[in-house]
Chains A and B, each alone.
Chain A
Amino acid sequence: MVERTFTLTHAAGLHARPAALLVQTVQRFPGTEVLVRKGDREVSARSLLSVLSLGASQGDTITVRCEGPQEEEAMAAIARLVEGGFDG
């Protein structure tokens, strides 16, 4: 299991487009479970609606957990996406 915390610098936080990019990124790793936590809520990163329902905005901190055969690769892809400002 790998876990990392990110601060959302992107102005839109996890609005529809960034959230959709996150879900699409996670879909490339079908056997790996990916969870996103904000505050005390944790949801599956495969569910766009759940990710949107976190209401994560610019400046918020989110924690991502990956578990499965491709957990390292999945985390690296997510880090590139989030730290690159969701520049899909």
Chain B
Amino acid sequence: MAERVLQGVAAAPGLALGPAWVHRGDAPGPSASAAGDPAAERRRFQEAVAAVDRDLERLQAGADPQAREILGAHRLMLADPELHNRVEAGIARGLGAEAAVQEATEELAALLAGLEDPYLRERAADVRDVGRRLVAALTGRAVGLRLEAPAVVVARDLAPTDTIGVDRRLLLGIVTEQGGPTSHTAILARSWGIPAVVGVPGLLEQVQDGMTLAVDGETGTVVLEPAPETARQLEERLQAQAEARAREQAEAGLPAETPDGRRVELAGNAKVPGDVAAAVERGAEAIGLLRSEFLFMGRSAPPDEEEQYQAYAEALRLAGGRRVIIRTLDIGGDKGIPYLGLPREENPFLGVRALRLCFRRPDLFQTQLRALLRAGVHGRLAVMFPMVSTLDDLRQARAALEEARAALAAAGVPHAPAPEVGIMIEVPSAALIAHRLAQEVDFFSIGTNDLVQYTLAVDRGHPELTSLYQPIHPAVLRLIDEVVRAAHGAGKWVGVCGEMAGDPLGALLLLGLGVDELSMAPPALPKVRRLIRAVPFREAEALARQALACGTAEEVETLARPMLERLAVESG
């Protein structure tokens, strides 16, 4: 059979090759089962409830705290008197146990689905999940992923309970017909480091159990029954991937320390809580930037305090005691968040964005700050404010945080009373008064992406100006130097969380300028770690001093490039 290629959306990087295992957890059960006498059907129902409860209890024992809570709620639903009354009424009307369960859970789900509160509406899915498990127990079918051999899982979509309890060692890859890059499946696959492609149209029609699949989580392609030549190439790539991963894992535990003893903290940037696990796996010692925007995008109303609390708490738990710097809302008129009703601005990057927006919307800001402080009890939280341009911005933001703290304390709600508080340095004015700002924060994190754009007056996304967007321009380096000196003069630490930190040339210069922490997209961590472990700090420092005296970015590059080549770390 000839190979076929399907295209989906890349959801989690990596390559997988193996037999397909088609998960039909959502296939309809036998709805019109022949009913026995009511007493027998009631007994079957009671036995199924007991069996599912044992299953859930067993899953709970091995689950992480969040999953344990979901499973606990499912067990309460399973024992719910309202569910039992409705099922028994159905049986009394002559229905079989399966049909009675389906009818009762569907009615209860519909009741929740009709509520105004979007969070409560989603609980309808939990009721249906419990119903599916009951019907499966009644018909002797398995629910959840029960892999017996290594396989690529193929499904319409995966529900959270499908994936709890699955043996990760057998899960080679995941392909789903539905879902996007922020679906549950995608987030889970990224956090587990399992290649995944989602949103593949026509998938279930074309794949059968046991068919060989190749999944490329970088490009989003899925090859069905790859031809021998394709399979050989894939195996070579898999081999290279395994070797690279083994080397990275061996190095992930090594400290980012130069041969002459200068220690730098290597941290990961995260867009969603699930990214935290990926960063930790690649040896991140902290999360230097968790953007909170993910919670606000792609929806019709802002997330409430509880939803935000759950998301921040998940990130803190995944970090396992490492510091997680969570940045407060950093959006403005250029981002499509229709429900905030932001006016279009002539110049959104100089307009009402980030803190400026939060100060005008205390409802949004207080909700976020309260959720952050509450989540702080689950790990080592640091709060970071974006887009500070004046001392007054910082003071107003700190006052808002204090207001949230005082309200939680007055209500007796558990919270972290004094998390570390820092600010992004991304506006030149903040860099130039860093000596004053440093007295009122615990740390700085330099956001080079915006700092470069504001310093050089170049729109980062402008197609005609890409050559003028120069992170290593001496003007930028001089501002960074100013910020590092100011922080260290006040006994505070300073990090960098822009893309420059994950680029070898940028990282080399930042190391030389005395930056204490570099935070980057997790895939860049191994490369930067190797660089830092190879370059003597005094050489990097001497290089940085020379760079500060340069007049153009080209001169800086000419100085620095030979050192990188000598260290031969760039290609690795």
Q: Of the candidates A17, A48, A55, which one forms a contact with B117 in the assembled complex, judged by CB atoms under 8 Å apart?
A: A55
Cβ–Cβ contact A44 & B76, under 8 A:
no
In Å, the complex CA distance between A11 and B126 comes to 21
Q: Does A57 contact B (CB under 8 A)?
A: yes
Q: Does B72 contact A (CB under 8 A)?
A: yes
Q: Does B111 contact A (CB under 8 A)?
A: yes
Q: Does A73 contact B (CB under 8 A)?
A: no
Q: Of the candidates B73, B80, B111, B411, which one forms a contact with A16 in the assembled complex, judged by CB atoms under 8 Å apart?
A: B73
Chain A residues near B309: list those with CB within 8 A. 11
Q: Does B461 contact A (CB under 8 A)?
A: no
Cβ–Cβ contact A11 & B119, under 8 A:
no
In Å, the complex CA distance between A16 and B71 comes to 11
Chain B residues near A9: list those with CB within 8 A. 411
Known: A9-B411, A48-B76. A53 touches B115 (CB 8 A): yes
Known: A11-B370, A12-B304. A49 touches B127 (CB 8 A): yes
Cβ–Cβ contact A15 & B119, under 8 A:
yes
Chain A residues near B115: list those with CB within 8 A. 53, 55
Known: A47-B81, A50-B82. A87 touches B120 (CB 8 A): no
Q: Does A20 contact B (CB under 8 A)?
A: yes
Cβ–Cβ contact B305 & A12, under 8 A:
yes
Q: Does B116 contact A (CB under 8 A)?
A: yes
Q: Output the nearest chain A residue to B83 by Cβ-Cβ distance.
A: A49
Cβ–Cβ contact B413 & A53, under 8 A:
no
Q: Of the candidates B80, B81, B120, B411, which one forms a contact with A15 in the assembled complex, judged by CB atoms under 8 Å apart?
A: B120
In Å, the complex CA distance between A55 and B81 comes to 19
In Å, the complex CA distance between A47 and B82 comes to 6
Q: Output the nearest chain A residue to B124 by Cβ-Cβ distance.
A: A52
Range class of the B interface residue count: 20 to 34
Tell me how far the C-beta of A9 lies from the nearest C-beta in chain B, rounded to whole angstroms: 6
For B69, B76, B81, B126, the residue with the greatest tally of chain A CB atoms inside 10 Å of its CB is B76
**Residues of chain A from 38 to 60 with CB closer than 8 A to chain B in the complex:** 43-44, 46-50, 52-53, 55, 57-58
In Å, the complex CA distance between A75 and B309 comes to 28
Q: Does A74 contact B (CB under 8 A)?
A: no
Tell me how far the C-beta of B2 lies from the nearest C-beta in chain A, rounded to whole angstroms: 49
Q: Hey, what's the 0/1 contact readout for A1-21 against B, CB within 8 Å counting as 1?
A: 000000001111101110010
Cβ–Cβ contact B81 & A44, under 8 A:
yes
Cβ–Cβ contact B120 & A85, under 8 A:
no
Cβ–Cβ contact B76 & A11, under 8 A:
no
Cβ–Cβ contact B81 & A85, under 8 A:
no
Tell me how far the C-beta of B353 lies from the nearest C-beta in chain A, rounded to whole angstroms: 26
**Residues of chain B from 98 to 118 with CB closer than 8 A to chain A in the complex:** 108, 111-112, 115-117
Q: Does B561 contact A (CB under 8 A)?
A: no
In Å, the complex CA distance between A84 and B411 comes to 8
Tell me how far the C-beta of B561 lies from the nearest C-beta in chain A, rounded to whole angstroms: 53
Chain A residues near B120: list those with CB within 8 A. 15, 52, 55
For A15, A43, A58, the residue with the greatest tally of chain B CB atoms inside 10 Å of its CB is A15
Q: Of the candidates A13, A24, A46, A53, which one forms a contact with B112 in the assembled complex, judged by CB atoms under 8 Å apart?
A: A53
Cβ–Cβ contact A17 & B69, under 8 A:
yes
In Å, the complex CA distance between A15 and B111 comes to 15
Cβ–Cβ contact B412 & A85, under 8 A:
yes
Chain A residues near B411: list those with CB within 8 A. 9, 85
Q: Of the candidates A11, A17, A52, which one forms a contact with B304 in the assembled complex, judged by CB atoms under 8 Å apart?
A: A11
Chain B residues near A48: list those with CB within 8 A. 73, 76-77, 80
Cβ–Cβ contact A23 & B76, under 8 A:
yes
In Å, the complex CA distance between A4 and B126 comes to 31
Cβ–Cβ contact A49 & B82, under 8 A:
yes
Chain B residues near A43: list those with CB within 8 A. 82
In Å, the complex CA distance between A10 and B407 comes to 12
Tell me how far the C-beta of A8 lies from the nearest C-beta in chain B, rounded to whole angstroms: 12
In Å, the complex CA distance between A9 and B370 comes to 13
Q: Output the nearest chain B residue to A46 by Cβ-Cβ distance.
A: B81
Cβ–Cβ contact B81 & A52, under 8 A:
no
Q: Output the nearest chain A residue to B72 by Cβ-Cβ distance.
A: A20
Q: Output the nearest chain A residue to B367 by Cβ-Cβ distance.
A: A11
Chain B residues near A49: list those with CB within 8 A. 77, 80, 82-83, 108, 111-112, 127
Tell me how far the C-beta of A25 lies from the nearest C-beta in chain B, rounded to whole angstroms: 12
**Residues of chain B from 518 to 567 with CB closer than 8 A to chain A in the complex:** none
Q: Output the nearest chain B residue to A13 by Cβ-Cβ distance.
A: B117
In Å, the complex CA distance between A53 and B119 comes to 12
In Å, the complex CA distance between A57 and B115 comes to 11
Q: Does B123 contact A (CB under 8 A)?
A: yes
Chain B residues near A47: list those with CB within 8 A. 80-83
Cβ–Cβ contact B112 & A84, under 8 A:
no
Q: Does B414 contact A (CB under 8 A)?
A: yes
Q: Does B306 contact A (CB under 8 A)?
A: yes
In Å, the complex CA distance between A3 and B253 comes to 59
In Å, the complex CA distance between A21 and B238 comes to 48
Q: Of the candidates A17, A44, A57, which one forms a contact with B82 in the assembled complex, judged by CB atoms under 8 Å apart?
A: A44
In Å, the complex CA distance between A1 and B567 comes to 80
Q: Output the nearest chain A residue to B308 by Cβ-Cβ distance.
A: A11
Q: Hey, what's the 0/1 contact readout for B64-86 against A, CB within 8 Å counting as 1?
A: 00000100110011001111000
Cβ–Cβ contact B117 & A85, under 8 A:
no
**Residues of chain B from 399 to 435 with CB closer than 8 A to chain A in the complex:** 411-414
**Residues of chain B from 345 to 385 with CB closer than 8 A to chain A in the complex:** 367, 370-371
In Å, the complex CA distance between A47 and B127 comes to 13
Tell me how far the C-beta of A28 lies from the nearest C-beta in chain B, rounded to whole angstroms: 14
Known: A17-B69, A53-B112. A84 touches B412 (CB 8 A): yes
Cβ–Cβ contact A87 & B112, under 8 A:
no
In Å, the complex CA distance between A23 and B76 comes to 8
Tell me how far the C-beta of B534 lies from the nearest C-beta in chain A, rounded to whole angstroms: 49
Cβ–Cβ contact A20 & B412, under 8 A:
no
Cβ–Cβ contact A52 & B112, under 8 A:
yes
12 A-B contacts (beta carbon < 8 Å): A10-B413, A11-B370, A12-B306, A16-B123, A17-B69, A47-B81, A49-B82, A49-B108, A55-B116, A57-B116, A84-B412, A87-B414
The 5 closest A-B pairs by CB, nearest first: A12-B306, A11-B305, A55-B115, A47-B82, A48-B76
